[in-house]
Amino acid sequence: MKTSIRAAISVALLAGFYLLAIGVIVGLGWLSVWMWREHAGAAAGKVSWVTIAAAVGLAVAFWKIVRAKPDDPSGVEVQPQAAPELWDTARTLAAQVGTRAPDEIRLVPEVNAAVAEHTRLLGLVGGRRIMYIGMPLIQAFTVGQLRSVLAHELGHYSGSHTRVGALAHRGRMAIVQTVAQIGPSTLVGRLFMLYARVYILVEQAVSRRMEYEADEFSVRVAGRSTAVRAMRDLPVVDAAWDFFVGKYVTIGWDARLAPRDVFGGFPELLRGRAGELAQLRSEAPPSESSRWDSHPPIADRIRAMEAMADSGVAPDDRPAAVLLRDPAGLATRLQHEQLAIDGRTLLPWEELTDAAIAANAQRQADVLFRAAARLGQAPQGDLGLVLDLVERGRAADLARAVAPHADAEDLPEALVGHIGAAIALAARAGSGARWQHSWSSGAEFVAADGTPMPIGELAQLAANQSGVPAARQRLMDLGVSVTAARQQSAQASAVGADVLGGIANMKSGKDHFDVLILDNGLLLVPGPKKTDDGKQRLLQILQSAPVDELARRHRFVAYEDIASATILKRVPVRVAVTLHSGETVELLQPWSGETLDKNDDDLLRSALDPFVAQPQQA
């Protein structure tokens, strides 16, 4: 199907939406007039109100679409003098695919390449062109592979796909804005939502056809083998980048730590994990598909590429970074301008790994130390007090305190984990041990001389009543003082906590709260008495600040602070929570209250079940 036909379909679908909207409004208007003439009353008033709301909603939505401006471009702009080879490559490729070269090239911190065009007249008239290239792609790909990817993107320009995409985007905006103005739960809103499903299904099918067309340019410009290799490598590089960000870059995020050179670490990871990445490449490419996807499955695209005629272009296996004059300088700019590292302490990778894991271990150990202080009636907990309690037969009590939601068979291992964190902190503080950074495996805890320390073995001994004397002796032999690891935080925090659910408009005494259910406690945010838009308000709360910041601003009830709980009523849920301090907090869900998920009332009861002795049902 040619692009002009696709554009015509997009225009027709968009026009059809407005014709449907106008038809609905005209029909409602006629019905309103007829009802006022024949059956004047409350029903006629309601129909008139729906008609006015729909007309106003359509007008407001259309006005927003007409006045909408392109978003500011993301990434770091690369001037021609900063990367002459990259610009020459882009211009040469543009000529080869028969289109105009981009006006801007921007680097972005993601595994992606894309093109955009600031069009006019709903995408029918072209404008300024921007090409986005992911820095991780440049670091992981060869010149030939990058040429293949860029040829694909420029192929979207050649086929006027960017203009059709702009038109499709405007159509989606029009429908979304209209539904938002009218209300998705209204009868008219549901009708428009049904039309939106049809519109998006057609647009996604068109988008998938465009991807196949753009792939033809990849094969023609870079050669079939290089194009296929680039396509196979895309999900591998994407997985490597996600792993790198999750396990290395953000390892100290909660402790306000970040790497000094983010992008300098990614090539190191690719080299260190080369064997694992080779295994990923040997696996079958992703083949999952959905009619809602904008891209065909990679397996299907590779099959289509392999069926195309080979252009005979020789592979260019130089690293793609040679196309940048100063890749390190551009990477530094990208890190500081596009990544959320402001206000964080920047450390070299070796120091970051040790400091970040130590901070995480301290949070874990503090849960243990606070429980030990409470059970041992001491002002503050440390590793020595923990060992004393275990030796006095209180290991089970400590385990339940640090892992209240663990199954009974998992409690001993949970205690071992917390004690292990405490032992490592003591060794790090007193004997110069550290967590040693590694690109090829997980960090290893080593002694000052670099030899591995048996933290797991020591923790297993220390978590067992009969093993405590041996654990003390071995720690002494290693030069580790049990008083070197001590409680740093007097109260639990929500740092690193995950949100599991939420219930709006819960009542506690005379006050009303929107309650977020976390994996380590309950967060009570003061809310209004009215129950309208509760779910939307919960979402807005989550978007307003990180969870740990919200916990600092509002009431946070950590599970470790709960002594007991009672389920006073199951539907709607009503619970009473008694804290170790003696305070009781009662929460009542209103009948009309909203939740983030339909089962969040069950989630709240499950969160409190470990603290319930004999639940009462109503």
Q: Quick one: pLDDT band at residue 605, thresholds 50, 70, 90?
A: very high
Over residues 391-406, mean pLDDT:
96
pLDDT of residue 611: 95
Q: Quick one: pLDDT band at residue 532, thresholds 50, 70, 90?
A: confident
pLDDT of residue 421: 97
Q: For 531-561, b where at least 16 C-beta lie within 10 A, e where not — what string?
A: beebbebbeebeeeeebeebbeebebbbbbb
Q: Quick one: pLDDT band at residue 141, thresholds 50, 70, 90?
A: very high
Q: Is the pLDDT of residue 152 over 80?
A: yes
The per-residue pLDDT for range 225-267, each reduced to its tens digit, is 999 999 999 999 999 999 999 999 999 999 999 999 999 999 9
More confident residue, 604 or 33: 604
pLDDT of residue 615: 37
312 lies in some domain: yes
Residue 396 near residue 410 (C-beta atoms within 8 A)? no
**Whether residue 330 sits in one domain with residue 462:** no
**Whether residue 554 sits in one domain with residue 406:** no
How far is it, in rounded angstroms, from Cα 401 to Cα 410?
13
- Distances in Å between the Cα of 139 and the Cα atoms of 50, 146, 266, 348, 546 are 56, 10, 8, 20, 31
Q: Is the pLDDT of residue 169 over 80?
A: no
Residue 471 near residue 478 (C-beta atoms within 8 A)? no
Q: For 252-279, b where at least 16 C-beta lie within 10 A, e where not — what string?
A: bbbbebbbbbbbbbbbbbbeebeeebee
> Measured between alpha carbons, how far apart are the two ends of the chain, in Å?
63
492 lies in some domain: no
**Whether residue 439 sits in one domain with residue 534:** no
Per-residue HEC secondary structure of 98-160 comes to: CCCCCCEEEEECCCCEEEEEEEECCCCEEEEEEEEEEHHHHHHCEHHHHHHHHHHHHHHHHCC
Q: Quick one: pLDDT band at residue 10, thresholds 50, 70, 90?
A: low
Q: Is the pLDDT of residue 500 over 50?
A: yes
Q: Quick one: pLDDT band at residue 164, thresholds 50, 70, 90?
A: low
- How many folded domains does the chain comprise? 3
pLDDT of residue 481: 94
The per-residue pLDDT for range 266-323, each reduced to its tens digit, is 999 999 999 999 999 999 888 787 776 777 899 999 999 999 999 989 999 999 999 9
The per-residue pLDDT for range 343-356, each reduced to its tens digit, is 899 999 999 999 99
pLDDT of residue 444: 96
Average pLDDT value for the chain: 87
Least confident of 117-126, 270-279, 470-479, 523-532: 117-126
145-148: Cβ within 8 A, 24+ apart = 145/222, 145/226, 145/229, 145/230, 145/233, 145/320, 146/89, 146/230, 146/320, 146/323, 147/89, 147/93, 147/221, 147/222, 147/226, 147/316, 148/218, 148/221, 148/222, 148/226, 148/227, 148/230, 148/231
How far is it, in rounded angstroms, from Cα 446 to Cα 459?
15
Report which of 254, 453, 265, 263 is spatially closest to residue 355, judged by C-alpha positions.
254
**Highest mean pLDDT, choosing among 55-69, 95-109, 552-566:** 552-566
Q: Quick one: pLDDT band at residue 52, thresholds 50, 70, 90?
A: confident
pLDDT of residue 540: 93
- Distances in Å between the Cα of 547 and the Cα atoms of 497, 598, 603 are 7, 22, 18
Q: Quick one: pLDDT band at residue 617, thresholds 50, 70, 90?
A: very low
Q: Quick one: pLDDT band at residue 420, thresholds 50, 70, 90?
A: very high
Residue 492 near residue 402 (C-beta atoms within 8 A)? no
Over residues 400-404, mean pLDDT:
95
**Whether residue 189 sits in one domain with residue 293:** yes
**Whether residue 358 sits in one domain with residue 264:** no
Residue 440 near residue 272 (C-beta atoms within 8 A)? yes
**Whether residue 243 sits in one domain with residue 100:** yes
30 lies in some domain: no
50 lies in some domain: no
Q: Quick one: pLDDT band at residue 554, thresholds 50, 70, 90?
A: very high
242 lies in some domain: yes
Joined tokens for residue 201: 């299904």
Q: Quick one: pLDDT band at residue 193, thresholds 50, 70, 90?
A: confident
- In sequence order, which residues have a C-beta less than 8 Å from that of residue 315 and are 6 or more positions away? 142, 144, 223, 225, 226
Joined tokens for residue 101: 């070269």
Residue 431 has a CB neighbour count (10 Å cut-off) of 17
Residue 147 near residue 243 (C-beta atoms within 8 A)? no
Joined tokens for residue 163: 């203009």
Q: Which of 315, 344, 373 is the last residue of a domain?
A: 344
- Distances in Å between the Cα of 113 and the Cα atoms of 3, 95, 100, 378, 486 are 22, 19, 17, 58, 49
Report whether the peptide linkage leading into residue 572 is cis, meaning its omega lies within 30 degrees of zero: yes
Q: Which of 285, 314, 344 is the last residue of a domain?
A: 344
585 beta partners: 577
3-class SS of residue 579: strand
37 lies in some domain: no
**Whether residue 319 sits in one domain with residue 443:** no
3-class SS of residue 530: coil
117 beta partners: 129
The per-residue pLDDT for range 59-94, each reduced to its tens digit, is 666 666 556 565 677 899 999 999 999 999 999 999
Q: Is the pLDDT of residue 4 over 80?
A: no
Q: Is the pLDDT of residue 525 over 60?
A: yes
Q: Quick one: pLDDT band at residue 40, thresholds 50, 70, 90?
A: confident
How far is it, in rounded angstroms, from Cα 474 to Cα 200?
66
Q: Quick one: pLDDT band at residue 325, thresholds 50, 70, 90?
A: very high
The per-residue pLDDT for range 436-451, each reduced to its tens digit, is 999 999 999 999 999 9
**Whether residue 358 sits in one domain with residue 327:** no
**Whether residue 435 sits in one domain with residue 332:** no
- In sequence order, which residues have a C-beta less than 8 Å from that of residue 529 and are 6 or more positions away? 505, 512
Q: Is the pLDDT of residue 31 over 90?
A: no
More confident residue, 339 or 165: 339
Over residues 325-341, mean pLDDT:
92
Residue 589 near residue 503 (C-beta atoms within 8 A)? yes
CATH number of the domain bearing residue 576: 2.30.29.30
3-class SS of residue 11: helix
Burial of 593 (0-12, 13-18, 19+ CB in 10 A): buried
67 lies in some domain: no
pLDDT of residue 159: 56
Q: Quick one: pLDDT band at residue 614, thresholds 50, 70, 90?
A: very low
Least confident of 22-36, 222-236, 241-255, 551-565: 22-36
Q: Quick one: pLDDT band at residue 197, thresholds 50, 70, 90?
A: confident
- Distances in Å between the Cα of 5 and the Cα atoms of 46, 154, 470 are 42, 20, 80
**Whether residue 564 sits in one domain with residue 455:** no
Joined tokens for residue 295: 């891209």
pLDDT of residue 178: 66
Q: Is the pLDDT of residue 162 over 50?
A: no
| Residues above pLDDT 90, as percent of the chain | 66
Joined tokens for residue 325: 């004059």
**Whether residue 399 sits in one domain with residue 462:** yes
Q: Which domain holds residue 557?
A: 499-611
Q: Which of 320, 344, 368 is the last residue of a domain?
A: 344
**Whether residue 275 sits in one domain with residue 242:** yes
Report which of 306, 158, 133 is spatially closest to residue 223, judged by C-alpha positions.
306
494 lies in some domain: no
